[in-house]
Structures are given as structure tokens and as C-alpha cells.
Amino acid sequence: MKALLLENIHSDAVKTLTARGFEVVTHPGAMNEDELISALQGVDYLGIRSRSFVTRRVLDNAPGLKGVGAFCIGTNQIDLDAATEKGVAVFNAPYSNTRSVVELAICEIIAMARHLTDRNRDMHAGVWNKSAAGSHEVRGRTLGIVGYGNIGSQLSVVAESLGMRVYFYDVADRLALGNAQRVDSLEELLGVAETISLHVDGRAENKGMFGAEQFAQMRPRALFLNLCRGPVVDLDALHDNLVSGKVAGAALDVYPSEPKTKDEPFISRLQNLPNVILTPHIGGSTQEAQVDIGRYVAGKLADYEDLGSTSMAVNLPDVTAGLKPAARVVHLHHNVPGVLARLNSVLAEYNMNIGSQTLSTKGQVGYAVTDVHGDNIDGLLHRLEQLPETIRVRVL
């Protein structure tokens, strides 16, 4: 099996895949659509981070591709509908860099509350500005979290341990951790919190969710953080509220448009504002997180290849497949009535004895993993490929 890993994915991913029998090719940067199409010829698995986009056109021109690993949290850079239609499994790392993002958020909240960036700049300019004016402890202050998923909920716990009062808003029904309190609307959250931190995902409906209307609803002199997705925030509205003083400080790690390489310039209206912390999408960029992400996603790709396991796949039905016997048939198909009966009928045609069978469905697709004993596996594979419901079938 051949895997292509882009964007400086951690070397532990290479080690994990190599140990599982993969030939691994690495490329330090992102690739555009045409480059990716060319590079994927003869490649079975692709690993990316956030700057390479796996579009429908890419998938249309990579018929041999079996899986894509997003070595990060987000998968909005991948056309998941097209991947599912093509039978390409997509895996990500939903938990591996959670702590890293949380620690950056806490660091920036404290830095803004204490005006550390201002004091640092003054000192480098030779100015000794030893003053408590405008500096505050975070203990006893109120944090509002928008999005209470893996990162938002852990930020809640860590912030509370520092003595902060935590409120959160989420469109999904989430269990409050510790003493955190859920509110019923974003407007209610903005009216009560002194610091707002965004932790929503990259789905289309979240684009532009935080703009002039939401900044107007915030408390005067509140702090604002966006460490989730760049398109979520209207940067022009944020700029205006920072200049007017309505927002006392902001910290951003993600942007609507980001350079693809370090050689491209970063340009933003928020540059050179004294009350803004800008970081280059490094929320999950700690050594600990990158090691864990590399091992985790590479392991998922290898398990899918070797065992047919789709556990934690983003776009396919979830089947946890253990050690396989002599032969395992993995059948990804359109989720229509009677497909399992037709699959088993073909197995019977070829005198296959079923040792175990698992079926899981997700939306319009189904995934069946069947351990079989029998001869003429090649003929069986060809026959299953001819079933009209088949999206992709493999015999392991």
C-alpha cells in the first residue's frame, strides 16, 4: 500500500504506517488541486492537515484512493459527500489536540487580562511601565463559551479551576461539566460574559455567525477569542469594535484566508492593533499533540486497510472489526432494502461459510464486514463488484 502525507505531518505517522507495511511518500507543504491530482496517481491513502483541499474533482481523478486522513480536527477541507459516494473513508483526530488548544486559550485570556503584550512591547522599546492600571486577575471573572464540544467543555473545566465562572451556549444538548451553566441563547451568553471564546465547527451554517450584531450584544470592554474556524467571524466588524473600544482585546488563531506556506505574506486589518494577539493557526501545534495525532490517524488508516475497521470514521458507518480470519469481505454499499440478503446470496453462490457478520448504516450508505471461509475468493470479489448497490468492495 502507498500513502502520501502532506504538510509536514509528524514523523510518527510515517513510522506507524511503515511498520504496518505501507510505502510512505512525504511532501512538506500543501498542494493545489492540479498538483494533488497528479500526486495521487498510484496512491491508496492520503494524509493532509488544513491547507490541502480534497475536492470532488480530486476524488473523481483518484479512483484508486481508499482513504483520507485529516491529521487535525476539522474536515471542512474535504468534500465528504463526494468521498462517501466514491467509497473513500475519511478519518480525523477529534480529541488529540484538545488540550493544546485549551492551554492556548487560557494563556491568551490571562495575557489580555494582564496586558502582557503591551508590557512586553514597552519593555522592548525601553519603557518601564510598572502599573496595575487596567490589569485584572481572571479569578472571579465570567467566561462565555460558544460551542461546548471536546474543546469547549475542557476549556470550561480548566477555566473553572482558575476560579472563573463559566457559562456556555451550544445548539446541541450538552451536559454541563463542573459548575458551568448553560444558557438558552447566544444573545443571553453575550450579555452575561466578560470574555467570549468561540469553539464551533466548520459547518456551512456557522460561516459569519459572529458579526456586528453579536459584537453589539457583548458587554462593554469584553475580551474576545476565536480559536476555531476563520470564516466564523466578520473581521471588519471585529476591527471596528476594537478601534471603538467596545471590545477591549481579541485573540485570534484562525482566519478566513490563510497563507498556504510560510513564504506567503499574512495580511489582516487586525495587524498593528495594540490590543490584539494574532497567532498563525497554532492552537494544536504542540509536540505532544502532533505526536498523538500522527499515531492516531495513521493507526486508523492502517486499521481500515488491514481490518476494514471504520471506527471513528467521519463519513462511513461505524464498524469496529477485530483480528481477521483467513478472509474478510468489506462491502460499502448504497443503503437500500434487501442489500444484505443479496450480499449473502452471493456468498452462498460461492460456497462461503460465514463466520461472523456486522452491518452498520449511516444515512445513504451501509457497510458490511463479513468473515468468510471458502475458496474462489477472486471470483467472489468480481461478482460482488457487479451488484448494483456496491460502492466499493474489498477482500482482506
Please give the helix or strand (H or E) that residue 370 lies within, else none.
Answer: strand 365-373
Q: What is the pLDDT of residue 52?
A: 93
> Dihedral of the CA atoms 155, 156, 158, 164 (nearest 10)?
120
- 241 in the same domain as 258: yes
- 66 in the same domain as 121: no
Return the CATH number at 31: 3.40.50.720
Catalytic residue (one of 141, 199, 229, 328): 229
Return the CATH number at 376: 3.30.70.260
Known catalytic residue at 349: no
C-alpha to C-alpha distance for 195 and 166, rounded to whole angstroms: 10
- 293 in the same domain as 263: no
73: closest CA among 51, 50, 57, 89?
50
- 213 in the same domain as 122: yes
In degrees rounded to 5, what are phi and psi of residue 347?
-60, -40
Q: What is the pLDDT of residue 375?
A: 81
- 114 in the same domain as 240: yes
250, 271 Cβ separation under 8 angstroms: no
Neighbours of 362 (CB within 10 A): 15
Catalytic residue (one of 281, 328, 331, 333): 281
348: closest CA among 323, 370, 366?
370
Q: 306 lies in which domain range?
A: 1-96+287-316
pTM as predicted: 0.83
- 157 in the same domain as 58: no
C-alpha to C-alpha distance for 133 and 112, rounded to whole angstroms: 13
Q: What angle do CA 380, 369, 355 make, to 5 degrees?
A: 80
222: closest CA among 249, 262, 185?
249
CA 202, 205, 206, 212 torsion: positive or negative?
positive
Look-up: residue for cell 488548544? 101
- 296 in the same domain as 353: no
- 368 in the same domain as 301: no
Please give the helix or strand (H or E) that residue 307 lies within, else none.
Answer: helix 287-307
Q: What is the pLDDT of residue 369?
A: 96
In degrees rounded to 5, what are phi and psi of residue 181?
-120, 135
The phi-psi region of residue 284 (left if phi > 0; otherwise alpha if psi is between -120 and 50; otherwise beta) is alpha
Q: What is the pLDDT of residue 34?
A: 96
Q: What is the pLDDT of residue 330?
A: 96
- 260 in the same domain as 156: yes
Catalytic residue (one of 187, 213, 258, 288): 258
Look-up: residue for cell 473545566? 157
74, 96 Cβ separation under 8 angstroms: no
- 132 in the same domain as 212: yes
pLDDT in tens, the chain (396 residues): 999 999 999 999 999 999 999 999 999 989 999 999 999 999 999 999 988 999 999 999 999 999 999 999 889 899 999 999 999 999 999 999 999 999 999 999 999 999 999 999 999 999 999 999 989 999 999 999 999 999 999 999 999 999 999 999 999 999 999 999 999 999 999 999 999 999 999 888 999 999 999 999 999 999 999 999 999 999 999 999 999 999 999 999 999 999 877 889 999 999 999 889 999 999 998 999 999 999 999 999 999 999 999 999 999 999 998 777 778 999 999 999 999 999 999 999 999 999 999 999 999 999 999 999 888 788 899 999 999 999 999 999
Quote the number of domains for the chain.
3
Q: What is the pLDDT of residue 219?
A: 97
367, 360 Cβ separation under 8 angstroms: yes
- 210 in the same domain as 106: yes
- 257 in the same domain as 186: yes
Give the type of residue at 189: L
